[in-house]
Structure 1
Amino acid sequence: MPVDLVIFDIGNVLIEWQPERYYDGVIGPERREAMFAQVDLHGMNDEVDRGGDFRETIYATAERYPEWRDEIRLWHDRWIDIAAPAIDHSVRLLRALRSKGVPVHALTNFGIGSFEVAASAYDFLNEFDARHISGHLGVIKPAPRIYEIVEEQGGTAPERILFTDDRPDNIATAQARGWQTHLFEDPQGWADRLVQAGLLTAEDAA
């Protein structure tokens, strides 16, 4: 089936997103494990991704756990150090597709404020033809509604969309809607998929 639209997830596709790794480097693995066991930091981040205020959501969580207050606040204060580094090969693939005239969108679980920070630090986040940001839409993957919104806004038949994401649950929802999909494990695998789809040559995808 031909592809008329390519959609990228961002976290762990274009930018590494490994908060545990960041905290291991700041407070050590043992304290990090204790904090993550006590505090649902990923649940807190989901609140931000659904549209909650970036600073207020994180700082409110920090106040509920005073023994971890300073560490939790880093999720906001040093956020760009957590969301790092860029995955350079994936960025090249994004730009190669656009240079070929292939429409490229982003579909990502991202907060309003945190995305503003990211887009200031990573210029390629401003290069999509359209960005579907969960914080603005008020719903996060893998809820089917966010995929419906992409279809409505993009005007592309589901079977002509090719979507990559690092999470199997996000991929499963896309597949259920008839999208073509690629479970992202590394940029070379994604490059190979784009070549297979006839969107890029092997040279383009290097």
Structure 2
Amino acid sequence: MSINAVIFDIGNVLIEWQPERRLAERIGADRAASLFAAFDVHAMMTRIDAGGDFADTIEETALAHPDWQHEIRLFRDEWNAIARPEIPHSVRLLRALRARGVPVFALTNFGARNFPLSAAQFPFLSEFDRHYISGEMCLVKPDPAIYEAVETDCGFAPETLLFTDDRDENIAAARARGWRTHLFDGPELWAHTLVEHGLLTRKEAA
């Protein structure tokens, strides 16, 4: 059966999400390591991804950790310096698929208010045919409900959807619904998968 749509995760697929590295650049490696040891930064971001207000959630977290208020507020005040850079080959693949007329969707754990900040910084994030933003849906991967919501909205059969994500649990949840999947571990192998499915030529995927 042919592929009706290709679905991209965003973090670590199209733009890097390595907050430990970015914070180390900003405040020093030792201070950043202590920050991530002191409390669960990723849990804070998951609250935002699940529908929590971006600014309010970060401010509440900062107030709850007085020794780290400045560093925690960097996630709000310097978001575009943390969620970066783009992954150029992945962006080329996105645009090559669109040039071929292949519907391309985004399915991402991302806050409703910080996604527009990243989309303004990286215009290719606005080029998808459909966006499924967890913070807008109040559902997060790997909850099966978010995949069901995508199926219902786009109207395509699960086996006609090809999805790439960098997290095993997100891929497993999609596969359990019958989606075709690719565990993202760099754009080169993702390009190969797109060629194998007949969606791009080798030249287009380079």
* 1:98 is aligned to 2:98: yes
Q: Is 1:14–2:35 an aligned residue pair?
A: no
Displacement of 1:26 after TM fit? 1.8
- Map of 2:119 onto structure 1: 119
SS in 2 for 1:26: helix
Task: Give the residue type in structure 2 aligned to 1:148.
Answer: E
Give the whole-Å Cα distance in 2 for the aligned partners of 1:33 and 1:93: 34
Q: Return the offset for 1:28.
A: 2.0
Q: Determine helix, strand or coil for the equivalent of 2:105.
A: strand
Please tell me whether residue 64 in structure 1 is matched to residue 86 in structure 2.
no
Q: Which residue in 2 is equivalent to 1:174?
A: 174
Amino acid across the alignment from 1:179: W
State the distance in 1 between where 2:116 and 2:204 align: 30
3-state SS in 2 of match to 1:132? strand
Give matches, 1:142-181, under 5 Å. 142-181=142-181
Q: Which amino acid aligns with 1:64?
A: A
Work out the percentage of aligned pairs sharing the same amino acid: 57
Equivalent residue number for residue 23 of structure 1: 23
Output one character per residue of 1:13-32: Cα deviation in whole Å (capped at 9) or x when no partner. 00001000011112222222
* 1:124-174 residue CA offsets vs partner (Å, 9 max, x unmatched): 111100000000100100110000000000101000100000000000000
> With structure 1 as the length reference, what TM-score do the two structures score?
0.98
Give the root-mean-square deviation of aligned CA atoms: 0.7
- SS of the equivalent of 1:113 reads coil
Give 5+ residue unaligned stretches, structure 1. none
| Equivalent position of 2:37 in the other structure | 37
Query: What is the CA distance between 1:86 and its match in structure 2?
Result: 0.5
Amino acid at match of 1:147: Y
Distance in 2 of aligned mates of 1:75 and 1:128: 25
Q: How far apart in 1 are the matches of 2:30 and 2:2? A: 49
For residues 22-47 of structure 1, the C-alpha deviation after alignment (integer angstroms, 9 at most, x for no partner) is 11112222222221111111000011
Question: In the alignment, what sits opposite 1:78?
Answer: 78
- Partner SS for 2:113: helix
CA distance in 2, matches of 1:9, 1:73: 26
Q: Which residue of 2 aligns with 1:204?
A: 204
* SS of residue in 1 equivalent to 2:202: coil
3-state SS, counterpart of residue 106 of structure 2? strand
After superposing the two structures, state which structure 1 stretch, 170-179 or 27-36, moved more.
27-36
CA distance in 1, matches of 2:94, 2:54: 27
- Residue type of the alignment partner of 1:199: L
Deviates more, 1:156-165 or 1:29-38: 29-38
Q: How many Å separate the matches in 2 of 1:25 and 1:118?
A: 19
Residue 98 of structure 2 aligns to a residue in which SS? helix
Number of equivalent positions: 206
